[in-house]
Structure 1
């Protein structure tokens, strides 16, 4: 028994000096625990957990070398749990509970592009007709369709339009991405669209200086560099992707080059490195600073200022914040004569991001960013420590570093990308090997030079050279995306697969000694579970407008048009690929807007529209009836109409030997703040009996 207690003590003591990177992991466990809940905890409990976490951290200071780390781990879990919950309450705001159509007034605070390639505006200071201010959402997001005439969105402008708004939608299938939660933390209380011209109510007023500067710089860049290359340059320099075409974005995603658009570690590192090198070289040219000044430290300070300016201009998303924190840590280390890059720096960046934005933990951007960074730092630390092996010629070092970094980053982010986006890029490594050097040697340096030349009106000289590099990257993306088998669809894993895989990867990267190989076990388990993923036999959209039945050829959809986002997500999650139109061709029978299909002994009947719903008056026990309008047939069938689906959310059913196994989005995600107030959902009863 004594040996049993001595073993964990010896393990902890053996890891002394290498435990700090685990602090971010335990904070993330607490945050993940909050988001995994199915019932919203009381606010008092959240404050209690935060308080207990603080006390635990204080107690750990005098707890010794063994008990101290244990207390810190428990305290961080409690802090993560409490901070995530309190952040959710702090961002609370009104959410529409009905479909609104009418005048929408607001101030433009963000401009981007929707999945349908339409310009999309985020508005604050929202005014809706006949709606009290306390019920009006703090922010809404509207996509602009139709002819908008001469209207050009301007940061800070107050506009008015006539459009449709509704509450953000929930998960398109149980356990899927919950857009309601995502919108809650963005304070989006309504999303919608307009097909009418937008009118300018008031020109931009004071404030929003950074947003205005971003758009000004974006417009200036695109004026000097036309076409997709100009839109690409604007995205790289300012984070503004509103001019990027959908086909271009898809080609970049299909070749695993989309990370070149996101202002992340690559861009921040290249910018800081270029500014550092230029400043250091420039100061060394003069004899006074060369002999009397701390040139390297001054260059690092200048690079830090440039990196901070880049953070502000880029919009400050999570990936950019992480990149800036990493760059700032490295530059400060140079100033203080400390080691620049380490797993401690990665952990510090993760801690800061998670404290500021706990909800970032569940986002693909955070997961992919830190997966790549952690793996890269861990691998290069091992390479640096290793003294054995062949001594390669010095000229091969940059080539080997590029190949190794591309391979490691690709392997680290591939599972996250496949889990969230359900596709794998077959030739992503090739595309990155021929594109990333161009980004580092040509695009980023010329972007910096263009900004420096703008006060003199000479930016077009640098932008022309920058455009050559961007044209090459776009050419690579377009050509490789067209290769046969460039993109392979991947079936969506169960929700627990990615956390298990992440745990294994963290052990492999953070643990010291041979014990790190233990991380291979959970990784192997996660892969095995992923390969056994079983997709539902029947999927029902939460609006009742779309139904999907699994067949041997893939999922058959009940409609060829409409609910396109839901259809695309289902097909991606199935791992079959294809389009909504081709999936609709697999549906066996559609007549007079009544779609019928068979799954085992059960007949699925989808009633599309009010006329079809009114004409259906009788059903049997071996039928499942789904309707996009209210329906009340006589008989013992199970009915899912808008009224029922409002309670359940989207529905998934599996055919078992014992009958139908059903899960609803409400059962999986529970009743949380972002799903509205109310009691837990009652067990479903069969309607129409």
Structure 2
């Protein structure tokens, strides 16, 4: 049988040339649906991505921390458990898909191994982030009490916080709920007026057993959409209730003898306040011990509105200053001993001393999460110095962030974590940029030019930090100091190089009774700091108020900022696109027309005056500063609210007020309940029929049928506080952002409270 002619194909050529007949046999990677074309497209996309990452100098380590934090934030953003499971499954599925599309041992393995590994690791880290926060919530979350109650508590003191500026103590107690048969952790405010004239009992400290009667409340959910969610914070702190003591406090068992860290902290704070009188002493105590309870409210507000409030909390600035001072002091002192300097690596000894001082300072100031985070980051910097590595790098920041998120994953959505790492990323990205390196390059120049160059860079750094923090501050606090960069140029060196070293020297001198001259200098330095804060906050336009910006806008800011910070070269400029888009979205954020608190007792209506300024009309002249501040901030209005009874065009009776406002090309009639005074049902039904929106803190009968919305007690118990945009006919509720997370519980149905006996009529 003659053999067929077999074509000889030179090596390197494709046997399936352009004129070759198609091979009817399926390839191993092909399917009936044409997966080969998809695989080819994915291969080309992978090659392009790998080339881009290589050209951009991509560092995967910082992005792992970003992905881990993204998984945590996803858990908070998704409302239902099945969605959390789906997101985790999606991460695992993406890892498996990457392995299937680019299997090990394939022809292109060498060129795509890094990209495959990046996809697999990032997908798994994302799923681990969701699992971590879910497990953390299940382990530490505390079920809140069902309803407000006045109870007799006998419990052990877990923590004591002195707040002389508020004229109270704050005790965290472990108690046993006999009715529910469970142990609970509660926080009770103890007015100083309820104690003896001598002050708190000597044995009232951690470990003591006390008996008191307190009015307890479940941790409060957000008052309005976008307000502070104390219920969520309390959940992760393990708090089941908060309240205020009524009556007297009895010390059943004094605290055991011994000097704990908390006692040292209180003793140090009292010592500093005794040495430095007034507001400067309260701030000096905050720097020395982390105790902010003595700072007056006016000073807190001035520091906040001037952009200097970060100086009051023990964080990166303070911990870094303490560790740096200890490091350089030990290094210089040991260098004076030549025999030791020739035999021992002094930087290692100095780094060890700085680490010990930093850990001690962290423990002494309460070891709060921001302080621990800052201490870990500073210790990593010391380790880099000892190893001869770059001290400030993105990898160091990523390790510190990963450490904190593993221990306290809930901090990812908190302003403290976000602001701290945003500021550090901004500093590192700016210092590593080519223009800044060229600007700071060593050159022959007079000292005053070199000092001027450093001053310019300090101001530029302040501006960059303010820009990086602005979206975070506006999202969480709805207000931001506009002149913070200018104030920080003076305030940060004043605190870092003057106030804190003087406090440390004064404490050392007090051991010999010679600290009073140094304490006087501390008082003058901190009085200057307060003067800068009050002067800055008093300027026109010093504070910018902003209604609640959308989570999507914040996500754009975060993605653009991370791209700008973590990429290198011209590729980082692409991060400006999402930042610009988010800036436009923030500028176009609509002001809510109506804000209603969750209890229905307060309503805020935004009104635009002929001069195009906004005023807030409130249902009641509230005595609660917290309520008033929430309404003003979320409405973006800086002026004091005007009670509706004093607003032109409003008509009020003893029970209800009516007001007509024009929005979205039409008139809206509002009927707002002022109290629970009894009203005839027919009259109420007739008034509701003429209104578009009815708001009341009471249960309204079914006969009350407004044209668009009836927000009575029944509705508000399910929705929580609401914000209404009339032009878009959109209602935003607190409940919509809570989902099935453990800290949100719809109130149990309760019977209507008996109305007052008086009868009101409509005018």
The verdict on a shared fold, with TM-score over 0.5 as the criterion, is yes
Determine helix, strand or coil for the equivalent of 1:21. Answer: helix
Structural RMSD (CA): 3.3
**Structure 1 residues 93 and 242 mapped into 2: Cα distance closer, same or farther (>3 Å)?**
same
Report whether the alignment pairs 1:137 with 2:184.
yes
1:79 paired residue among 128, 132, 143: 128
Distance in structure 2 (CA, Å) of the matches to 1:161 and 1:433: 49
Deviation at 1:523, TM superposition (A): 0.3
- Render the CA deviation track for 1:592-630: whole Å, top value 9, x for unaligned: 142322345443222233325677742434343322233
Q: 2:409 aligns with which of 358, 376, 381?
A: 358
Looking at structure 2, the residues matched to 525 and 347 of structure 1 have their Cα atoms a distance apart, in angstroms, of: 27
- CA shift at 1:497, angstroms? 1.3
Deviations for 1:294-351, whole angstroms, at most 9, x for unmatched residues? 1122111101110111111122223212211121011111222222111111111111
> Does residue 439 of structure 1 match 2:461?
no
Q: 1:548: which partner in 2? A: 604
8 Å contact from structure 1 (residues 141, 188) kept in 2? no
- 8 Å contact kept, 2:57–2:568: no
Distance (whole Å) between structure 1 residues aligned to residue 670 and residue 249 of structure 2: 43
Residues 54-203 of structure 1 aligned to structure 2 (within 5 Å): 64-112=113-161, 117=166, 119=168, 121-127=170-176, 131-134=179-182, 137-142=184-189, 144=191, 148-150=195-197, 151-152=199-200, 154-156=204-206, 157-194=208-245, 196-203=247-254
Whether the aligned pair in 2 keeps the contact of 1:257 and 1:432 (CA below 8 Å) is yes
User: Quick one: distance in 2 between partners of 1:633 and 1:348?
Assistant: 59
1:446-470: per-residue Cα shift (whole Å, max 9, x none)?
2222343454454445433322211
1:468: which partner in 2? 524
Aligned to 2:658: 596
Q: Which moved more, 1:156-165 or 1:270-279?
A: 156-165
| 2:693 aligned residue (624, 636, 659) | 624
CA distance in 2, matches of 1:582, 1:468: 43
Kindly report which structure 2 residues correspond to 1:177-326, keeping only aligned pairs within 5 A, or say none.
177-194=228-245, 196-205=247-256, 209-326=260-377
Give the direction of change, closer, same or farther, for the CA distance of 1:251–1:336 in structure 2 (3 Å limit).
Answer: same
How many residues matched? Answer: 675
TM-score, length-scaled by structure 2: 0.81
Per-residue Cα deviation, 1:11-50 (whole angstroms, up to 9, x for no partner): 2333556221111110111011100011135998899899
SS of the residue aligned with 2:551?
Answer: coil
Candidates 659, 662, 676, aligned match of 2:731: 662
Conserved 8 A contact 2:99-2:120: no
Q: TM-score, normalised by structure 1?
A: 0.89
- How big is the shift at 1:94? 2.7
Inter-partner Cα distance in structure 2 for 1:49 and 1:212: 49
**Shift in CA distance, 528/234, structure 1 to aligned 2, threshold 3 Å:** same
Name 2:622's counterpart in structure 1: 561
Structure 1 alignment gaps of length 5 or more: 680-689
Larger radius of gyration: 2
Asked whether the 8 Å contact 1:545–1:563 carries over to 2, the reply is no
Give the CA deviation at 1:126: 2.3
Contact 1:311/1:320 (<8 A) preserved: yes
Partner Cα separation in structure 1 for residue 179 and residue 526 of structure 2: 48
Q: 1:509 and 1:43 mapped to 2: Cα distance?
A: 29
Partners of 2:560 and 2:69 lie apart in 1 by 15
Q: Does 1:574 align with 2:640?
A: no
The residue number in structure 2 matching 1:686 is none
Residues 104-135 of structure 1, C-alpha deviation per residue, up to 9 Å, x if partnerless?
Answer: 3444444558899453514121256x63341x
Correspondence 1:511-530 to 2 at 5 A: 511-530=567-586
Q: Which residue of 1 aligns with 2:35?
A: none
> Is 403-412 or 582-591 further displaced after alignment?
582-591
CA distance in 2, matches of 1:584, 1:349: 54
The gaps in structure 2 that reach 5 residues or longer are: 1-40, 105-111, 609-613, 749-763
The runs of 4+ residues in structure 1 deviating greater than 6 Å are 42-63, 113-116, 613-616
By how many angstroms is 1:57 displaced?
Answer: 13
Structure 2 residue 538 is the aligned partner of structure 1 residue 482: yes
Classify 1:397/1:123 alpha carbon distance in 2 versus 1 (closer, same or farther; 3 Å).
same
Asked if the contact 2:189/2:245 (under 8 Å) is kept, the reply is yes
